[in-house]
Amino acid sequence: MGDKMSSNFELMKLLFDPKMESILQTIKTKGKTVKEIAEELNEKPSRLYYPIQKLVSTGLIQISEEKKKGNLIEKYYTSRHLFDDEEVMHVEGDLAIRNSDFLLSMILLSLNKGITMLRRDLDVESTPQELEKSRAMYTEYDASLTPSEWRQVNEEIRRIIRDRDNANNQEKTEYTFSILSYEKESKPAE
């Protein structure tokens, strides 16, 4: 158990380290060498070898390609497997299983932020005009869908958010959408 907690803590440190986040973002669409990553981040390559090895050891980045240049082998690193589009990070499969305690903690932390903000909005005696300025919103909706339709609806929600986020450059406020959808438990037979 201690080893798993240790690896969860290591993953948390990596995900919250600005340098690590920059590396992940730099290689999310295309595999790059340490030298290319360093150039993009205005960093010395020697300062990136250790962080990149830490990211590889946790599975957050992968070696996408190896090319022989003279006597050297150049490795190309990518985090493409974490992103289904250009903005949304997904931690799934073996990486999620190995770090499930950490991921569940991060989900609860994110949800708690939203619940706290919603509670603040609701605790104040608000006029209808003030309610229009709420900073948190909760919606729950039950739907009967096939598994394929369920996945498609989740993807459509992500696409709508992504499209709105990328639309025009007017002044905007940042919002977090924590989307959790799940199969409703069947009622036990009587």
For the segment 131-145, the average pLDDT, to the nearest whole number, is 84
Instruction: Say whether pLDDT at 147 is over 60.
Output: yes
pLDDT digits (tens, 9 = 90+) for 70-121: 998 999 999 877 765 545 555 666 767 776 776 776 677 778 888 888 887 8
pLDDT digits (tens, 9 = 90+) for 157-173: 988 988 887 777 678 88
For the record, the structure tokens of 2 come out as 């201690």
Total Cβ atoms within 10 A of residue 51: 19
CA-wise closest residue to 15 among 107, 84, 77: 107
pLDDT at 6 (0 to 100):
46
Helix, strand, coil percentages in the chain from 3-state DSSP, rounded to 5? 55, 10, 35
End-to-end CA, the chain: 40
pLDDT at 8 (0 to 100):
59
For the record, the structure tokens of 53 come out as 């090895």
C-beta contacts of 38-45 below 8 A and 24+ residues apart: none
The model's pTM is 0.50
Q: How confident is the prediction for the chain on average, in pLDDT? A: 80
Position with higher pLDDT, 133 vs 154: 154
Q: Given pLDDT bands bounded at 50, 70 and 90, which one contains residue 12? A: low
